[in-house]
A and B are shown apart, each in its own frame.
Chain A
Amino acid sequence: MKKPIVTLKDVSKIFDNGTKALDNINLQIFKNETIILSGVSGSGKTTLIGLIAGLDRPTEGLVEVDGVKISKLPQIELDSFRQKSVGVIFQDFGLIEYLTVYENIIASLIPLRLERDIAERRVQEAMREANISHKANSRVYHLSGGEKQRCAIARAVVNRPNIVICDEPTANLDLENSKQFIKLLNGLKSKGHTVIIATHDPIFERLMPNIRKITISNGKIENSYG
């Protein structure tokens, strides 16, 4: 199990306006591991996730994900890295509101240029997994928070990434939906995905015992259990 799938070495991120969001982060996440990234609001969780997901690049340091040193990658490679390796569930879900659930999900398969029925099958499978099939043809802005969430999950797993990253997944959910979500996560874990959850919701620690938790505050890693 001790094979790192995510490695961060001396990673810092300073934004254009001078905000130092991450400060010298060193971190390893292993294959098929589920970890929690906790920290108060503004501590730098989303920023860190952005670096791991290849949405942004660090100011300094090395980010290696799924065997690719993405901090060194040119933009174009980063695009294809995102196609293959990571699925992200954004803090506000990051769905395109005016598209249907189905369209949102299949959108992430388009750059892969799959055959029609393969793509179709994958979408159906992902929707089933995330329990959103019944809303396939509803527009996202008609959905409830929980449904949006499940749509985002389906989209994150549809291109079968090795790593699934969730940013504050339960922030907009009630207890019942949160429990369901955790059930889904456990399902992903059993399918071999590496799952990274950024949250400050204690429910994860309660329902997912023996889980590694990394706390980050002011852009620095405070402790790392597990």
Chain B
Amino acid sequence: MQPNRFYFALINLLREAKGHIGIAILSIILIFFISSIILFSNALQQTILEALEAQPDFVVQKIRDEVIVPIKKRVADEIIEIAGTTNISLRVWGRYTFSNTQKSILIVGVDFLDEQSHDALEKIIKSTDLNEFLMDRNQIIVGEGVAKWMKKTKRDKTLRVYTPKGKAVELKLFKVIPKSLNLFSNDMVIMNIKTAQKIFGLKRSSVTDITFDAPNELEWDIIPIKVSSLDSDLRVISKKESYKAYQEMFDYKGGFFLLSFIMVAMSFMMLLYQKYSQVYSSQKRSIGILKAIGWGVGDVLIMKFYETLTVVVISFIIGFLLAWSFVFIFDAPIIRDIFLGNSNFELTDIKLYSSIDWFNITTIFILFALPFFMSVLIPVWRVATTSPKEAMR
């Protein structure tokens, strides 16, 4: 390679390696930190949103005095009448808390004879011998979290719950939901709708929610209004709403994190400013010599720009790759606990979608490179305008 300004930039870098390595390590740590969190939260968000995709478009519940009350089955027939609705099905859906351990499970009662709209459930049932499952009403399909917890208890194949009247129901483990569907199903217990009705003390003619789809998105705004007009107590939750609620939650957490990171970045900038002022002032003489032999301010500026860019790009690549492997290969041990640890059954086995998202990468790059370049602006300019007189010292 014939020397050019980039070549001299590299030589300078190697020459001042000690000063730069300190900065690079600090940068790598910072990038690792932000990248891991951004990568993890975005992958989690992606995973959740994708899981949401499989949910029915709308869920109808009946609300009275702000609590969910049983809804009559015949409401479903009225919903069918509304143009544009399909895949209407009944569901008993609710939390059951074990009084002794305070653990709670999500009971999902499904009418297996009904046309299924729940893609995720369909998948599980398909992979199972449906007939065998249906033979016993008390058989259950449980999420990974529940299964693990059951193993720890004495009776590892059964789960005893009580109806509101105090009658015990012995649930028998039939199958564990595969890991790939883990996100929502972790604390889920799927059973026959009749068993679920019994556990929650519902009448045969009542369920907790009715779900349905509306294939034409343009009608999504009108249909809930039509459904609500059937009965003023009905509440319609659209998939888009929950999608948005999640998105908002992630936005909120992510935004909060970003703002705190920007605070950290400020102190990082001060540090960079000082460090680079120091490194560059030690280069005064050699820059002075370059100026004396004809280098202009622009030439030095460009050389220093290359220097900075090299440090930025190298630290970025290393930090990002470390974070990527931390999140997607080593499954982000600590961050996982922070994000998911406090849920009911620990969501430790979620398989995250690992994708390279350029938008994310740009976000992280801007977040890091911008303060970096900003803090070296003045030191770089100062050294570039070094007087050639320095060569005579």
Contacts and interface: CB of A to CB of B under 8 A. Distances in A.
A and B touch in the complex (CB under 8 A): yes
Interface string B30-41: 000000000000
A169 to B, nearest CB: 15
Contact of A53 (B5, B11, B15, B292): B292
Contacts of B5: 110
A20 to B, nearest CB: 17
Interface string B10-24: 010001000000000
Interface string B161-198: 00000000000000000000000000000000000000
Interface stretch (A32-40, A89-97, A177-185, A199-207): A89-97
Contact of A55 (B2, B286, B389): B389
Contact of A80 (B2, B15, B296, B388): B296
Contact of A110 (B4, B291, B297): B4
A125 interface: no
Contact of A103 (B11, B387, B389): B11
Given A79-B297, A94-B391, A55 B11 contact: no
B290 interface: yes
B392 A110 contact: no
Given A95-B289, A96-B289, A110-B5, A82 B389 contact: no
Contact of B294 (A83, A90, A96, A120): A83
Interface in A50-67: 50, 53-56
Contact of A108 (B11, B293, B388): B293
Given A46-B392, A96-B289, A103-B11, A111 B3 contact: no
Contacts of A112: 294
Contact of B293 (A56, A82, A102): A82
Given A56-B388, A82-B388, 20 more contacts: A50-B389, A55-B388, A79-B291, A79-B296, A80-B294, A82-B291, A82-B292, A82-B294, A88-B292, A94-B289, A94-B292, A96-B290, A98-B15, A103-B11, A106-B3, A107-B8, A107-B295, A108-B293, A110-B295, A111-B299
The 9 A-B pairs of least Cβ separation, nearest first, read: A83-B294, A108-B293, A79-B296, A55-B388, A82-B294, A96-B286, A94-B391, A111-B294, A106-B3
Interface of A: 46, 50, 53-56, 75-76, 79-80, 82-84, 88, 90-91, 94-96, 98-99, 102-103, 106-108, 110-112, 116, 119-120, 155, 159
